[in-house]
Amino acid sequence: MIASPTAAAAKPPFDAVIFDLDGVVTNTALVHHAAWKDAFDRILQDPRIPSGTNRAPLSRSDYLTFIDGMPREEGVVRFLASRGVHLEIGQETDEAGTWTGFGLGRWKNALFLEHLQRDGVQSYPGTLQLLQRLARAEVPTAVVTSSRNAASVLAAAGIQGFFTVVLDGAAAARLGLQGKPAPDAFLEAAARLGVAPSHAVVIEDSAAGVEAGRRGGFGLVVGIDRTGNRRQLEAAGAGTVLNDVGELDLGQVIGNAWHLVFEGFDAAHEGHREALTTLGNGYMGVRGAAPEGGPFSYAGMYLAGVYNRVRAKSADEMLLEEHMVNAPDCLPLDLRLPGRQWWSEGGMAVVRERRVLDLKRAVLERRLLLEGPDRRRLEVVQTRFASMAEPHLLALQTVITALGWSGAVEVRSGINAGVRNANLPERAQGSDVHLADRTAPPCPDQDLPPDAASVVEVVEHLDPPRLRAFERVLFEFARPGTVVLTTPNREFNVTWETLPAGKFRHPDHRFEWTRQEFRAWATGVAGRFGYEVRFLPVGPEHPEYGPPTQMGVFRKAGGAEG
């Protein structure tokens, strides 16, 4: 079986991702803040601090404004300058405790290592999940930090193997790179990864880091707001600001404001993408689910005013719940090469995928490149829209093109009535099944065999000249063992006072049959294609006009074969 989607199809439209360390990958900001606070609590009490200096403890705001994202020697100098204390930056060779930026910074680092050894550090779960997805898609990553302890921090968190490049404060100092908001370190990391900045992503939690990414011309700069600094991150130039790295969908392509574009496949974000690409027209709303389905897909079609009320027991109390019902899924469409497995079962690998929702035209287009086990490729273009002129109409067009070869492709399509309201963070108190099959006849044949087709209120929507084609498709080519077919009984229409004489029940009906007309058509079809048919009423029967709906149950005659 071929895995689908492949790693290539899952690859985002960027060549590399560069992470800040503190506050993005690991929760070292708390450890750093604790070490800085310990250091400045002692420094501010030192007799070398001029009298009259503000000796208030280091606050969270001070840390974010003057220290976070800076080389530690610069952080010392910047913070003390904010208190009116001038301090020379000194030399990198200054020993710990020397009254210079480097000396006090080195002393602070010793306090940090003590905290790190005693308390440890954890990576953020959302970041770890993204790193795992990028590793599977073979997207190179780098971590850039002003900290000189990057190796120790990554080892303590157990994630050192996820990064192709680690550029820490010590390496930046040796290269003479300026600290943030200068873009030097990010540009060096991109060069080491072998990618152009415009094809790379920077993920930062500090305003200085975001500004560095913007100034470096990176393709996407993501701000992570864990401390309520969204406005600062936006002002610094973040292309998007999120609460957690796990929310980042790297498949989203930012370009035309009227186009919502997703490249590749990302299982972690598939549900989010389906929701964002929902099409609706005021009567129906259909999620942007893949017609071939899959373990990460959730097909949902919801209709205005279609709810179900369910009683459920919880904690010895009876609850009355109202659910918006997920209607039968009209999207299913699958394909395969002859003799191979279906696409939905792994028979075709997705090499490339792109989804575009045109917000101006309200059209969803999905383009895929599929590859079979014999390396033959198909281009598949699927276009769908919900009609504003006909509220009950959803159109899905699929165009399949063989690339460099000629031959047959098998396609199957249908309607899945076995849907559930399953897309819930927690299971609902009541049942998630809200649909019941009311078309089966009330007789021992109620449970239809697997080789059966149910055609409910369909034929009357066909133009009469097309009935012969319908008959051949269903009874000659598909040839199910059993066919259950229902259609309105025109004679019953006179019982409805609101239906004008001579009018059909629905404006889209092309015809409606009397009982005699239906029997004549069904008997003729059965005779031509080797079936037997019997007739059953659906609904309460009127003594003169019969039931509102009539049913024909077709079975292959005497085991007839096609």
- 523 and 388 co-located in one domain: no
Residue 165 has which token pair?
Answer: 């490049």
Residue 504 lies in a domain: yes
Please measure the distance between the N-terminal and C-terminal CA atoms of the chain and give it in whole angstroms: 31
Q: Are residues 107 and 240 in the same domain?
A: no
The three-state secondary structure class of 341 is: coil
The tokens of 435 are what? 């649909």
DSSP 186: H
Cα 171 to Cα 31, 176, 185, 378, 434, distances in angstroms: 22, 9, 9, 48, 62
Q: Is residue 423 part of a domain?
A: no
Closest CA to 176 of 65, 67, 92: 92
Burial of 415 (0-12, 13-18, 19+ CB in 10 A): middle
* Catalytic one of 15, 22, 94, 334: 22
CA distance 137 to 13: 11
Tokens 């930012």 correspond to 254
Residues 405 and 323 in one domain: yes
> What does 467-534 look like in DSSP terms, one character per residue?
HHHHHIIIIIII--SEEEEEEEBGGGGGG-TTS-TT--SSTT-S--B-HHHHHHHHHHHHHHHTEEEE
| Closest to 537 measured CA to CA, from 525, 521, 548, 524 | 548
| 307 in the same domain as 238 | no
Residue 213 CA to residue 239 CA, distance in Å, equals: 10
The answer on 306 and 395 residing in a single domain is: yes
Rg for the chain (alpha carbons), in Å?
A: 33
What is residue 178's three-state secondary structure?
A: coil
- CA atoms of 532 and 560, how far apart (whole Å): 10
Please list the residues that pair with 25 across neighbouring strands: none
- What is the model's pLDDT at position 172? 92
- Provide the phi-psi class of 349: left if phi over 0, else alpha when psi is between -120 and 50, else beta: beta
Positive or negative, the Cα torsion across 290, 295, 296, 297? Answer: positive
**CA–CA gap between residue 394 and residue 345 (Å, rounded):** 26
Quick one: pLDDT at residue 524?
96
Among residues 356, 391, 413, the one where a domain terminates is 413
Of 89, 119, 149, the one marking the end of a domain is 119
Short-list 412, 561, 535, CA closest to 476: 561
Q: What is the pLDDT of residue 7?
A: 39
Residue 432: inside a domain: no
Contact predicate 51/44, CB 8 Å: no
Q: Are residues 162 and 115 in the same domain?
A: no
Residue 204 lies in a domain: yes
Any domain includes 428: no
Q: What is the pLDDT of residue 254?
A: 65
Q: Quick one: which of 268, 260, 224, 304 has its CA closest to 134? A: 268
Q: By residue range, what is the domain housing residue 109?
A: 28-119
In a domain, 221, yes or no: yes
Query: Cα(261)–Cα(239) distance, rounded to whole angstroms?
Result: 16
359 and 466 assigned to the same domain: no
Q: Are 223 and 306 found together in one domain? A: no
Same domain, 197 and 301: no
Which residue's structure tokens are 């027991």?
313
Q: What is the pLDDT along the chain (562 residues), one digit of tens a residue?
A: 233 333 344 456 688 999 999 889 998 877 877 888 888 888 888 888 888 888 888 888 888 788 876 788 888 899 889 998 888 888 888 888 888 989 888 888 888 888 888 878 889 999 998 998 888 878 899 999 988 888 889 988 889 899 999 999 889 989 999 989 999 999 999 999 999 999 999 999 999 999 999 999 999 999 999 888 899 999 999 988 999 998 888 777 766 778 888 888 888 788 889 999 999 999 999 999 999 998 888 999 999 888 887 777 767 777 777 788 889 999 999 999 999 999 999 999 999 999 999 999 999 999 999 999 999 999 999 999 999 988 889 999 999 999 999 999 999 998 888 888 877 655 545 567 777 665 555 544 445 556 788 888 889 998 898 899 899 989 998 888 999 999 999 999 999 888 888 899 888 899 999 999 999 999 999 999 999 999 999 989 999 999 999 999 999 987 544 4
What gap in Å lies between CA 76 and CA 70, rounded to an integer?
9
- Asked if 4 contacts 187 with a C-beta cutoff of 8 angstroms, the reply is no
* Confidence at residue 445, expressed as pLDDT on a 0 to 100 scale: 45
Asked if residue 441 is part of any domain, the answer here is no
* Domain-embedded: residue 255: no
Q: CA-CA distance, 356 to 365, in Å (whole number)?
A: 5
Please state, in angstroms and rounded to a whole number, the distance separating the CA atoms of residues 554 and 485. Answer: 8
- State whether 197 and 101 are in the same domain: no
339 and 398 in a single domain? The answer is: yes
Q: Which of 20, 68, 266, 334 is catalytic?
A: 20
Note the pLDDT of residue 5. 38
What CATH number does the domain containing 396 carry?
Answer: 2.70.98.40
Residue after which a domain boundary falls, among 221, 250, 279: 250
Q: In whole angstroms, what separates CA 12 from the centre of its chain?
A: 13
d(CA 442, CA 24): 62
3-class DSSP state for residue 158? coil
Q: Is 22 an active-site residue?
A: yes
Q: How many domains does the chain have?
A: 4
∠ CA(24), CA(129), CA(118), 5° rounding?
55
Together in a domain, 321 and 350: yes
